[in-house]
Structure 1
Amino acid sequence: MADTAAKSSETYMFQYKGYNFPKDTVTPEYIDSLEDFEIRDSDVFLVTYLKSGTVWTQQIIILIHEEEGSNAAESEDFNAAESQGSNAAQSESSNATQSEGSNAAESESSNAAESDTNMKRMPWLEYNLEGQDYNMRPSPRLFTSHLTYNLMSKMLKEKKTKVIYVARNPKDAMVSLFHFSKICTCMETAKNIGDLMEKYLSGQVARILILFLTVVAGSWFDHIRGWYTHREQLNFLFLTYEEMIQDLRGAVLKMCHFLGKRLQDSAIDRIVEKATFKNMKNDPKANYEFLPEKAILKDNGKFLRKGTVGDWKNTLTVAQSEHFDEVYRQRMKDLPLKFVWDLNEDAS
């Protein structure tokens, strides 16, 4: 049975530097190249362990930059109108022509941006599925990643690059992964939560999972420890999925402040509204329903499932939960992190 599982994994993956990678998606050479990937001060990285609010936070970061662009455009239009006021009669015709051309160009650019999915606008660094030349992307470049700290570019510590790390309580992240295995064609469906839990706690997720976003992550404990213990060497913002659920507006304001974006209250309101779970599920740019049928079994469920805190209680038995708690206490005893496991309880 174990040999069969190993052969199945080898069909899809190769092991490199202690991690498993999908054969058809990435190469050892590309992973090596990321260590020297040229990072800019203006870059923004969203880093998460899988099933920890990645798509949600990706949407928020993109919206923040969209709103900043809108504010800048409105300010430029206002200033231009003031300066042209005294010469309006003389240049009305000329300005009208130029304005039409400018508006057409802006509209075309806006429409192009709106047609792009979030995955294209803020791509995964380690999985260049579109074959883009990331060095040619204009600043600020927005990237998403599930990479562990030791696999990220060495330049990260040398730049002012902004890193937003979002963590989720591992019970909910694990249960979300369990359900995700039922719709993803690139991974073996977990037989039951108990089987998945043992692999999850031991960091052996790759033994049963083939999904490329999953196998590289390894252990939740190692992933969060690697990034959190190096936070003081980075331009780093640590958030939790649960605090975003409890106070979405507050989380958006934290991100704006960290990113150096001063937005009007009306802009913050728009971001919060577009980033609600209900609206994201209906947003074709953000809900990942654009993924092809060969990647997601859409009849089996949605990419965005519930977006809640405490769903683990509907899946884990009391014994499984207690076992999880014991492993968690041992692995996290030296880190000052507290998570909300249920919205009716305090963080612990």
Structure 2
Amino acid sequence: MADLSLEQTLGRAELREMKGIPLTTATYSIWDQVRKFKARPDDLLISTYAKAGTTWTQEIVDMIQQNGDVEKCRRATTYRRHPFLEWYIPEPSSLRYSGLELAEAMPSPRTMKTHLPVQLLPPSFWEQNCKIIYVARNPKDTLVSYYHFHRMNKAMPEPGTWEEFMEKFMTGKVLWGSWYDHVKGWWKAKDKHRILYLFYEDMKENPKQEIQKILKFLEKDLTEYVLNKILHNTSFEIMKENPMANYTKDFLGVMDHSLSPFMRKGVVSDWKNYFTVAQNKKFDEDYKKKMADTSLVFRTEL
């Protein structure tokens, strides 16, 4: 009997709503365990809406924690170093992944990642007063990046056409729900909790300054030499070539890097290559309505 191709064994994800937020059916199936997850006081959580510079932030944090030791940062792929809390792939066994199991087995201090909106975060993170780094990226670039990610990643739902995906994004009918609610929810939460709220555009414009903010938040002190080493090793060009960070070692057969590399461009204002004038007008009008109730401001170009 011929081997089943991975395409046959891993179908496109279906979505189910948990309190109005679309999650994969696999994550939905373990929701009770996610909700009951026990955070520890020294846990660090990196939280983002998808495609907002998550892997980049994870690499910066890891480099800081390892004092700039590049070898230590290559001890495992990003996916294993920082458990992706709610992510669950039960089948096939060669691709099985449980962020919960990884996190539970991990010695303290742990660093984890999530894309959950603030209202779905396991309550123990608030109870333990954990530190959380949140990164937000402007919606137009997020949308373009998320579209390409859906195209190349078979563990995501089928994106449909660019027009269809834009509509889904604007109405929040995508995995992890509405971008608008996500960034606003975490923005509000930062006033009550230990949350460092960063912007992707600031990280692009002045990475050194933003890394220093993370250092201060983590109460770490590093020499100028180590800081510059971190700057260099977390640049897009270096990370794109790092197999421990660029997802070429994980999910073989799930992510098709020939369609679109996991680390695609890492730039600000790539949206201009995709939005038509009419789409941009429609998006801007909708954005104004949805963001009228927040002090959050995003830059769509530098």
- Please indicate the TM-score interval, normalised by the length of the shorter structure: 0.7 to 0.9
TM-score normalised to the size of structure 1?
A: 0.76
Aligned match of 2:144 in 175, 184, 188?
175
Say yes or no: does 1:135 pair with 2:124: no
Secondary structure in structure 1 of the residue aligned to 2:152: coil
CA distance in 1, matches of 2:17, 2:127: 29
Secondary structure in structure 1 of the residue aligned to 2:238: helix
Give the structure 1 partner of residue 207 of structure 2: 248
Contact 2:83–2:102 (Cα < 8 Å) also in 1 = no
Q: Deviations over 1:276-302 (max 9, x none)?
A: 000000111111111233211122221
Give the structure 2 partner of residue 21 of structure 1: 23
Say yes or no: does 1:196 pair with 2:197: no
Contact 1:193–1:316 (Cα < 8 Å) also in 2 = no
Say yes or no: does 1:260 pair with 2:219: yes
Cα RMSD for the two superposed structures: 2.2
Secondary structure in structure 2 of the residue aligned to 1:299: coil
**TM-fit CA distance, 1:230:** 1.6
Give the structure 2 partner of residue 223 of structure 1: 182
Q: Deviations over 1:127-174 (max 9, x none)?
A: 252563523422210001001111112122232311111000000000
CA distance in 2, matches of 1:244, 1:333: 25
Secondary structure in structure 2 of the residue aligned to 1:120: helix
Contact 2:76–2:244 (Cα < 8 Å) also in 1 = yes
Alignment of 1:1-348 (within 5 A): 12-23=14-25, 25-28=26-29, 30-67=30-67, 114-127=74-87, 129-130=97-98, 132-205=101-174, 215=175, 217-343=176-302
Q: Deviations over 1:55-77 (max 9, x none)?
A: 11111111110117x6xxxxxxx
The amino acid of 1:38's aligned partner reads K
Secondary structure in structure 2 of the residue aligned to 1:143: strand
Contact 2:44–2:132 (Cα < 8 Å) also in 1 = yes
The amino acid of 1:43's aligned partner reads D
Contact 2:149–2:262 (Cα < 8 Å) also in 1 = yes
CA distance in 1, matches of 2:122, 2:33: 9
CA distance in 2, matches of 1:199, 1:14: 15
The amino acid of 1:60's aligned partner reads I
CA distance in 2, matches of 1:16, 1:337: 26
The amino acid of 1:26's aligned partner reads T
Contact 2:63–2:73 (Cα < 8 Å) also in 1 = no
Contact 2:13–2:157 (Cα < 8 Å) also in 1 = no
Contact 2:80–2:102 (Cα < 8 Å) also in 1 = no
The amino acid of 1:138's aligned partner reads P
Contact 2:139–2:179 (Cα < 8 Å) also in 1 = yes
Q: Deviations over 1:74-99 (max 9, x none)?
A: xxxxxxxxxxxxxxxxxxxxxxxxxx
Q: 1:113 to 1:307 in 2, by over 3 A?
A: closer
- Structure richer in helix, relative to its length: 1
Secondary structure in structure 1 of the residue aligned to 2:204: helix
CA distance in 2, matches of 1:48, 1:202: 19
Secondary structure in structure 2 of the residue aligned to 1:251: helix
**TM-fit CA distance, 1:34:** 2.8
**TM-fit CA distance, 1:179:** 1.8
Contact 2:52–2:142 (Cα < 8 Å) also in 1 = yes
Secondary structure in structure 2 of the residue aligned to 1:291: coil
Contact 1:157–1:233 (Cα < 8 Å) also in 2 = no
CA distance in 1, matches of 2:290, 2:126: 26
The amino acid of 2:188's aligned partner reads T
CA distance in 2, matches of 1:197, 1:114: 36
TM-score normalised to the size of structure 2?
A: 0.87
CA distance in 2, matches of 1:330, 1:130: 38
Secondary structure in structure 1 of the residue aligned to 2:22: strand
- Structure 1: state its 5+ residue gaps: 1-8, 71-109, 206-214, 344-348
**TM-fit CA distance, 1:10:** 10
Runs of 4+ in structure 1 deviating by more than 4 angstroms, as ranges, are: 110-113
